[in-house]
Structure 1
Amino acid sequence: MATVSFHLKEPGADRPTAIFALLTIDRRTRSKVYTGQSIHPGKWGKAEQRALTRGRGNELNGHLNDTLDGISQRLLLAYGECLAAGTLPTAAQLKEAAAPEKPAEPAPPAPTPGGQFWQRFEEWVSYTRNTGTRGTAQGHATAGRHLREFAESTGYAVDFDTLTPAVGDRFTAYLLNVAGLADNSIHKNLFRLKSFIKWATQRGYTTAPALHGVTWAKREPDVIALSAAELRALEALPLPPGLRLDKARAWFLLACYTGLRYSDLVSIQPQHLRPATDKLPAHLRLTAKKTRAVVNVPLSAPALAIVNRLLAGGLASVKSQPITNPVLNRFLKELGALAGINSPVEVIRYRGGVADVTTYPKYEKLTVHTARRTFVTLNLGKGMSAEFVMKLTGHTSYKSFQRYVNLTPQRVAEEFARFHEMPD
């Protein structure tokens, strides 16, 4: 079942703000689609999710509501057509459905080499998706969405030869002050757009040095990982077997035992499991989705038991599918609270070089990726060399691996206590 609701991008603004539609499928999957319409928050009825037509409204708001009704119908129709085909609507399909209906127009002239920016951008995203790196393609699409919204809000025509350093600086300012992104997210979006320009240049689509010289400082947050004691508490937590939290714990523990990313965990097949021999323990041999590096991960007895359970279908959710990443992250926070993983952790987000420090109980910040960080930090703490751990995790460069080596204050205290007797 799908529903469409309408919301304001900035409900507290003192100026007209964009209206976006939220398509909700089965009360779980949500897709955000901008309608191309805007309204002053004072003329919007939040409960009705429509423009006010009485009191603070005006006579034109009825036409706006008719437009929103039409968008709602087209979005539901697009969903129904995809459902009949056994798929979910893509962001491009929803955007097309939300676009205002226009009368037929004469075919435009053939595009000039300088006017193909968005056509080539969509080609780049599709190329990345077709190579099997769907998560990376989604990141590329997000960077494109931010650039489109910047263009719409400023009225700026984005093209290869118009993305000058001055415009790049305006774009990063938009990401910081309007989109509200932290420094790391701004850096990633800028990096992805530069990667696109490089890709387009290599294929002869442009020779313009777009975004040349535009940079943004990247400030990595502290690594959050479980301590050995916290991992044992999670392992020992009594849970009804076969239910959602028991399955979620098994997925997370397997990641803690192997260091695999979520995308690699859910791709494990029987051919990836190599049985023990006289010379080698049972291990997983697979190609990492993100880096394409071949990894061989030895399996401890607990890890092997979980792999066998996974291959037997014992960790599937509804429709024999793995638990999705967002759902698993939600379950992990519940598991962490039950296991008493509540030591305070400081989360630092940098915006424009200014640190925003917030303290949380640790369970609130648990994600699937915490398991990979736990694998690295615990094995380094046991004395394994960084090179050996990198071989197990599939990291292809020490630079990307180094952020896992950073010592948090908690880990410094733990390591110090291992070598020195602490006074009572």
Structure 2
Amino acid sequence: MKTYFRSFCLLGGLLAGQQTAAQVIARYTVQAGDIERHNSIVHIRLEQPADTESLLLEEVTGKKRVPVAVTAAEGALWWVLEGRTPAGAQRSYELKKANRKTSVAPVMQVTDNHSALVLQQGLQKNLQYNYATVEPPAGSDTVYRRSAFIHPLWAPNGAVLTNAFPNAGHRHHMGIWNPWTHTSFEGRETDFWNVQKKEGKVRFVKMESVTVGNAWCGFSARQEHVAFLKDGTEKVAINETWEVRAYPATDNGKRRLWDITSLFTPATADGITLLQYRYGGGFGLRTTASFTASTSQVLTSEGKTRKDADSTRARWVKITGTTPQGKAGLLIMNAPANYDSPEPLRVWPENMEGGELMLNYSPTKMKSWTLTNGNEYTLTYRVMVYDGDITPAEAEAAWKDFAFPPVVRKE
């Protein structure tokens, strides 16, 4: 069963006559810390469940009050610290219970087409999560049927930046996905990535929740890593939840941020070991066929390029290239709390597949990771999708804002 959360911001004429009468239920301060902020995403836990359609958040500067788009979901209040906030600065907000609800549709929407969820801002599509099984190209082995992956991922200019079922040699590449490759499960090596080996795969189980709002939209989806046993039966090895949030575009619509968090637990008493291997798990990406060695550039936080980024660590990796709609790209950031962070990279050499690109943040590239029963594990990534290009300094600033977010305090 799907649970839908809705969140709104009261604007314009609806605010007239309400500002003095509305009850202030909380006051917050946001501290930038020692980092200059640019359209930072902030949130704070709500002490009590809120009727999100009746909340009004205002930024307070002296006697001036400016309404702020807000989303109340998952037990927290979310908004964007709009514009630039200098290092050391502090901004103040009041949360009120408005006198009446609004019927204005939220900015960030989720469209369910009965096989996939599309996260979008107005008519601008951000990304698509495929929960129904997607068939491979005609003539392919049915083993390549797959659910539980993101594709397409759109740039603000409309270009598709991902690829799925790309060619006969790599039909198992699925846009953005994260199956573990080399594992030890119940005494047997099991590969959930290379499905053609028929050892295992990842599949969608159910949608936990879908959220729409003004500060973000997204979903929480249950997935499972399934092992195919020698006797022809199946056994779930890992239970996983994907939490995905997409935020409003900034910089005149040229940049978008979205987050993906994987929460996973072993499904059996003996757990599972994710063995050290050169790729697998984490954040897997097969980019558009438009991105080749001659039409795209890779740059990491350590100054590595496609020629030398493989098997190096990176806080962030930037991929920019030419598309039919113009220049565009994506910046992928891994969280400091991730296993063995900054995570190692698997980057295809320039002579692979005609120069096309597969990139993987692989937490187990350098060392194994044993998952024990009863414990939950987390990997989090933030992605900036942009038109044109961004500078290394902008990429580093975006990662710092993600890794060390502003502090929100209740007064």
TM-score band (shorter)?
under 0.3
Q: Which has the higher strand share?
A: 2
Q: Which has the higher helix share?
A: 1
Instruction: Give the TM-score normalised by the residue count of structure 1.
Output: 0.23
Name which structure has the greater RCO, CA cutoff 8 Å, separation 6+: 2
Which protein has the larger Cα radius of gyration, Structure 1 or Structure 2?
A: 1
